[in-house]
Chain A
Amino acid sequence: MNRFRFSPAPIDGAPLRAEIQHHSCGGYASFEGWVRDHNEGQQVRHLEYEAFEQLGVAEGEKIIAEACARYGVERALCVHRIGDLALGEVAVWVGVAAAHRDEAFKACRYIIDEVKHRVPIWKKEHYVSGDSGWVNCERCAQPGEHEHTHEHGHHHGHGHGHAHG
């Protein structure tokens, strides 16, 4: 089974954690991104994620392979939700199990940062005001201004992170 997946159904972390649990591993780090009720001054009511699944799975798998090679971990998994999400739902789940905690933390961080910037997933926010918009495509549609990039650099710090505090 792919180490990167899309899920149209709500994400349950417990069976995913069980999938990577192994006696050779002494450390486990996990990250969940949740749907937040506000972004850039707007009150968010719910979210919609859409993905180009075929390319997304391939790119996601590449990111996990990079994380494993870079930090010497063997057991990593990432699931990204698609479809309509209510406030508080899990948008993305990342888990890494490793011999020691340090590489688990680092690999987990690498995977979420790269997934946000490289995997073809799009987020539409629906606001309390009745308005809606595709994040990074509409309100900020100026190339360069937000250093929009899908390249392999690390997190670029633009303020569109939605699900992560």
Chain B
Amino acid sequence: MSAAPLRALVLAGGRSTRMGRDKAALEYGGQSQLERAVALLQAVVDAVHVSVRADQADDPLRARFHRIVDRGDVQGPIAGIRAAQSQHPDAAWLVVACDLPHLNEATLRELIARRDPAKTATAYRSSHDGLPEPLCAIWEPDSASLLQRFIDGGRNCPRKFLINSDTLLLDQPNPEALDNVNTPDELAAARERLAGAKAAPRPLRVQYFALLREQAGTREEQIQTSATTPAELYRELAARHRFTLEPSMLKVAVNAQFRDWTQPLAANDTVVFIPPVAGG
């Protein structure tokens, strides 16, 4: 059978009760969790939506994105999933919680690559208890009617639904990627871990061409940076050199090969940001 087209849904309708403030707005390195989650998904799926409660629809943080409003007949993440399924019944949904600060592109790509459209869902096994992680999973269109029956039976736990469904379970490429953050203590720990990942500045070589060369005033520089990806590095360099090109217009090469913006950078890598080309 041919696979249903994939759309992505970021769940940002939680009540953040244990955190005591809106989890979607929590920032890591200057970027809110919601923005980070949307950007990650945009790198792997064309259509990205944000699931919100009716009373959050006009919230400025959320209003920038394609929102899908919960239907109100059920509580919790399952409400967002059902609303998305109703809006695009032919799509499969890559559903991701917004409070996963360690989620990375590799984890998403692996899930998509190993998806089995003949199953009800494709999900990762929790690295803590081996049970399915429903909030970084692909929900196939056929799951909609089963999920509705589950809700009609008075249940609303997406994890229990996947446990009792025909779910393909995968091992996570990165066991920490799906650790979520619910409390202020967990937030502090996650921030420390993320900061730790970039604590030690490393030497990198950056080469510039064309407009970027002119704006940087040099063809090449050796820098010490704690940026871990080309995306972070470009933010840092764009601020320093006042680059006018948006990252969306550029491509990235690391060690003279095209790479994506989340490629992990290692000491002594050579990075090139490639402006729009104009050969011929």
Contact = CB atoms under 8 A, between A and B. Distances in A.
Partners in one complex: yes
Interface of A: 33, 49-52, 54-55, 58-59, 80, 91-92, 112, 115-124, 134-138, 141, 143-144, 148, 150, 160-164
Given A122-B210, A163-B280, 13 more contacts: A50-B213, A52-B256, A55-B257, A59-B258, A117-B277, A118-B277, A119-B279, A122-B275, A124-B210, A134-B211, A135-B278, A137-B278, A150-B251
What are the 9 A-B residue pairs with the smallest beta carbon separation, nearest first? A122-B210, A121-B279, A136-B276, A135-B278, A116-B280, A123-B278, A134-B211, A143-B248, A137-B211
A137 B276 contact: yes
B94 interface: no
A143 B280 CA distance: 21
Contact of B210 (A50, A54, A59, A80): A50
Interface of B: 207, 209-211, 213, 244-246, 248-249, 251, 253, 256-258, 272, 274-280
Contacts of A162: 278, 280
A138 B211 contact: yes
Contacts of A143: 246, 248-249
A161 B280 contact: yes
A120 B274 contact: yes
B69 to A, nearest CB: 27
Contacts of B248: 143-144
Contacts of B249: 137, 141, 143, 148
A160 B210 contact: no
Contacts of B280: 33, 80, 91-92, 112, 115-116, 161-164
Q: Is the interface of A mostly helix, strand, loop or mixed?
A: mixed
A55 B258 contact: yes
Nearest to B244: A141
B220 to A, nearest CB: 12
A136 B278 contact: yes
A132 to B, nearest CB: 10
Contacts of B276: 136-137, 148
A120 B275 CA distance: 8
Nearest to A144: B248
Name the residue among A80, A143, A161 with the largest chain B CB count within 10 angstroms.
Answer: A143
Contacts of A164: 280
Contacts of A91: 280
